[in-house]
Amino acid sequence: MHPAPVTPRTTAAAVDVSVVIVTYNVREFLEQALRSVERASAGLEVETWVVDNDSADGSVEMVRERFPDVRLVANEENVGFATANNQAIREAAGRYVLVLNPDTILQEDTLRRLVAFMDAHPDAGAVGCRILNPDGTFAPESRRAFPTPAVAFYRIAGLSKLFPQSPTFGRYNLTYLPVDEVCEVDALSGSCMMVRKDAVLPGQGDRGHEAGRGDGAASPTPHLPSPQVAGLLDEDFFMYGEDLDWCYRIQQAGWRIYYTPDTQIVHYKGESTKKGDLRYVLLFYGAMLRFVEKHVAQQEGAGVLDRLASGLLAVGLRLGIVARAAIAALGRIGRTVAAPATDAALAWVGLGATALAWSRVDGFAFEAGYYGLVLPAYAVALVAAIGLAGGYRRAGRALRPVLAGAGLAGLAVAALSYFVPTLAFSRAVVGLGLVVAAALLLARRIGRRAARRVPRSALLVGAGAEAERLQRLLDEHVRGSAVLGYVAEADEDGVALPRLGRPRQLRDLARLHGADDVVFAADSLTNTAILDGMRALRDLPVQLKILASGRDRIIGKASVEDYAAPLQAAERTVAPLRPAWTRRVVEVPVASAVLLLSPALRLAARFRPTPRLRRLAAMATRMPGVLAGHLALVGYDAAGTHPPPAWGLLPGVVSVLDTRAARPQTIAEAHRAYWFYARHQSTWLDVEILLRALWAAGEATDRGRRTPA
């Protein structure tokens, strides 16, 4: 966990700011954050640290290739936000340390203004600035109060939202204070917080830095009596709460915490941990609970009532964790079963309508039990077959699994009716009903696809050439979308798209032209102009995005559309895997059958040792592992590169890599192959991979026989 070698400094100038960025699988955001830091470094001596928590998306390689001057720490495991920051802060040389999230963009003046504020306020242990959401609105976490029992109760009870202007109820996010005034606060957001080095590490913030402050800079020694050292981030906080705890300890050490609106950043809050997700609930409320137990409940001199209130708050937080976890679990179950339940209802309608129509034509009336018991069972069988075919992975809009599921369900129902005579209803009615049901399900999916393909209109802010680049990207990758024109101070020669107006008219232009998206061209705008434009549009129903500098990549709210390499952009998220039971339903009978045939396979391979028979015999010996659940029929190569655990893949009897003409030579290539499988896995894909692996075994031998000596 040591920093990678970097290009040494060419000057002996003191360092003003050490920017520390902890990253995990957000390569595209990280690149834009580093470019914004470069722009904001003018006039200052700045060193930048990136601590990577074992990302699988190529973040480390990107930093080494494109930002060779950045000091890089490449961890071999995810050590958490606090631990990773501490790794860099201990080695940082700056008078001040800026803790920065990778999904942020600084204005060109952010570093300069924050340094000037700290120099002018020697009592400041930390300062934060105005933080904007991706839609241009003010982020309330820019400044906060500590969650005392009363403050936490008002927030949990929702009173802070009902009465945001009340100094009593709105204290947690200080919503009663103007956002454009400097104020002393309890806590700042860890997404962008500048800390005085002397406030957190003993005797290090001033090492040789007197020359680095410039004329007229205030002394870093605070006027408060005997300020202490707060220490580094508490590493017991894995994620969330560590910034709150740090600010509390900085205050307790005798320093002050300030908020300044003189500069601003935009924070693209990532969705790796969504607020409705069970993991978010456990981490967020668990962190708040730890803060209360560590500080609020243990305050010296606290009276009996204070301790009782703290105890009740801790109990309330635990109950809140259980309640929110239950809600999150129920929501997850609901989202999982919503699509299959809707399909089952539609299938029942299709089967029932077919039976009713048949009754009218043929004159045969089905019993009530047929509609109430048999047809629902057929509908469930159809949905289960579609699930086995991978029809409910990702967005559930694929058409082929519906056709495959209908065919599989038809075969299953027909076979069952032969063995169970009591179920031998009219096969013609059932077959026709399955066709009608499948048609309804296909129509539903086609409709959902069409709804997603409604053309969107975009308005570009920046150079006309950038507008044409955006139009080219949309033409190639987003069918039906169009660029309305560009917003710039003057017309540009040779640009076919129209100039719609000037940047100061942006709000009116977006509204009058009905733009769905407003895209800011990073190559032709300053970050200050981009953030000001976002603020101007903050309450309009438009999506705000950034066309990245020199790359075919568009950054939006918690997403990156990388048209140059779509797979790379997708790798940063956790794959939406098929449910484990759908895999086991197929693997268990297949593994059992192969295991029963294994003596015959070994005997055949011994007397007729063809590559395919030898491969089958070798596969048969691994079937006990499949039955035990330790192996999958198709998975990753246990002896080679392993995919990230979050992808949920198991070691395979056959590796995904076995189907490739040439084995991947790098970890990145192997990860790309595994990622493709994780995103598209289904029973039919497993069958295809197994057949290809067996075929490849014979092909390799055939090629060897044809190769001349």
Report in angstroms the alpha-carbon separations of 179 from 230, 259, 260, 540, 629.
28, 9, 9, 20, 56
The whole-number pLDDT of residue 459 equals 92
Report the alpha-carbon distance of residue 514 to residue 281 in Å, rounded: 38
| Domain annotation covers residue 285 | no
pLDDT over 50 at 141, yes or no: yes
User: In the structure encoding, which two tokens stand for residue 449, read together?
Assistant: 């696809």
499 and 645 belong to one structural domain: no
The whole-number pLDDT of residue 279 equals 57
513 and 599 belong to one structural domain: no
Q: Beta strand pairing status for 17-23 and 96-100?
A: parallel
pLDDT over 70 at 212, yes or no: no
| Domain annotation covers residue 63 | yes
105 and 207 belong to one structural domain: yes
The whole-number pLDDT of residue 204 equals 55
pLDDT over 50 at 232, yes or no: yes
Other CB atoms closer than 10 Å to residue 625's CB: what's the count? 15
The whole-number pLDDT of residue 11 equals 43
| Domain annotation covers residue 697 | yes
For 655-664, write each residue's pLDDT tens digit. Answer: 888 765 556 6
Mean pLDDT lowest among 216-225, 322-331, 404-413: 216-225
Domain count across the chain:
3
- Give the SS3 label for residue 52: strand
Decide if 477 contacts 563 (C-beta within 8 A): yes
Report the alpha-carbon distance of residue 118 to residue 651 in Å, rounded: 54
Mean pLDDT lowest among 306-315, 347-356, 503-512, 627-636: 306-315
Place of tokens 């999982």: 336
Average pLDDT over residues 17-37: 92
Report the alpha-carbon distance of residue 241 to residue 235 in Å, rounded: 11
Angle, alpha carbons 253-259-260 (nearest 5°): 135
- For 76, phi and psi rounded to 5 degrees? -95, 5
The whole-number pLDDT of residue 503 equals 92
The whole-number pLDDT of residue 579 equals 64
The whole-number pLDDT of residue 217 equals 35
| Domain annotation covers residue 280 | no
SS3 content of the chain, % helix, strand, coil (to 5): 50, 15, 35
Query: What share of the chain in percent tops pLDDT 90?
Result: 25
Mean pLDDT lowest among 93-97, 375-379, 424-428: 424-428
530 and 675 belong to one structural domain: no
pLDDT over 90 at 108, yes or no: yes
Map 114-164 to HEC letters. Answer: HHHHHHHCCCEEEEEEEEECCCCCECHHHCECCCCHHHHHHHHCCHHHHCC
| Domain annotation covers residue 343 | no
The whole-number pLDDT of residue 93 equals 94
Q: Which residues of 640-653 are buried (b: 16+ CB within 10 A; e: fewer)?
A: ebbbbeebebbbbb
Last residue of a domain, one of 229, 252, 268: 268
629 and 514 belong to one structural domain: no
Report the alpha-carbon distance of residue 45 to residue 94 in Å, rounded: 8
CATH number, domain containing residue 516 = 3.40.50
- The pLDDT confidence band at residue 184, using thresholds 50, 70 and 90, is very high
Q: Which residues of 348-369 are buried (b: 16+ CB within 10 A; e: fewer)?
A: bebbbebbeebeeeeeeebeee
Beta-ladder partners of 370: none
What does the DSSP 8-state code read for residue 655? E
Tell which wins on pLDDT, 112 or 395. 112
508 and 647 belong to one structural domain: no
Q: Which amino acid is it at 268?
A: Y
Average pLDDT over residues 4-16: 55
506 and 628 belong to one structural domain: no
Angle, alpha carbons 607-618-672 (nearest 5°): 140
Decide if 93 contacts 18 (C-beta within 8 A): yes
User: In the structure encoding, which two tokens stand for residue 584, read together?
Assistant: 């086991």
Mean pLDDT lowest among 56-60, 454-458, 468-472: 454-458
The whole-number pLDDT of residue 563 equals 44
| Domain annotation covers residue 434 | no
Q: Which amino acid is it at 90?
A: R
Q: Which amino acid is it at 194?
A: M
Tell which wins on pLDDT, 123 or 209. 123
83 and 219 belong to one structural domain: yes
530 and 646 belong to one structural domain: no
The whole-number pLDDT of residue 224 equals 43
Other CB atoms closer than 10 Å to residue 637's CB: what's the count? 18
Last residue of a domain, one of 268, 301, 324: 268
Tell which wins on pLDDT, 517 or 666. 517
| Domain annotation covers residue 293 | no
Report the alpha-carbon distance of residue 127 to residue 184 in Å, rounded: 9
482 and 603 belong to one structural domain: no
CATH number, domain containing residue 133 = 3.90.550.10
Average pLDDT over residues 30-36: 93
Q: Which amino acid is it at 404?
A: A
* Highest averaged pLDDT of the listed ranges 110-114, 213-217, 559-563: 110-114
Tell which wins on pLDDT, 474 or 258. 258
565 and 586 belong to one structural domain: no
Q: What are the CB-based long-range contacts (under 8 Å, 24+) for 487-493?
A: 487/459, 487/460, 487/461, 487/462, 488/461, 488/462, 488/463, 488/464, 488/524, 491/464, 492/463, 492/464, 492/465
Place of tokens 């003189």: 262
- DSSP H helical ranges for 478-526: 506-512
Q: What is the mean pLDDT of the chain?
A: 78
For 265-308, write each residue's pLDDT tens digit. Answer: 999 875 444 444 555 556 666 666 666 666 655 555 555 565 66
Tell which wins on pLDDT, 250 or 611. 250
Place of tokens 């075994």: 697
* Dihedral sign for Cα atoms in the order 444, 447, 449, 452: negative
Last residue of a domain, one of 223, 243, 268: 268
pLDDT over 60 at 208, yes or no: no
| Domain annotation covers residue 288 | no
How many residues are listed for the chain in this entry?
709
- The pLDDT confidence band at residue 506, using thresholds 50, 70 and 90, is very high
Beta-ladder partners of 517: 458, 543
pTM over 0.75: no
Report the alpha-carbon distance of residue 321 to residue 329 in Å, rounded: 12
- The pLDDT confidence band at residue 628, using thresholds 50, 70 and 90, is confident
- The pLDDT confidence band at residue 65, using thresholds 50, 70 and 90, is very high
**Which residue range is the domain that position 626 belongs to?**
580-706
Mean pLDDT lowest among 114-128, 502-516, 559-573: 559-573
For 593-621, write each residue's pLDDT tens digit. Answer: 888 888 888 888 887 778 778 888 888 88
480 and 546 belong to one structural domain: yes
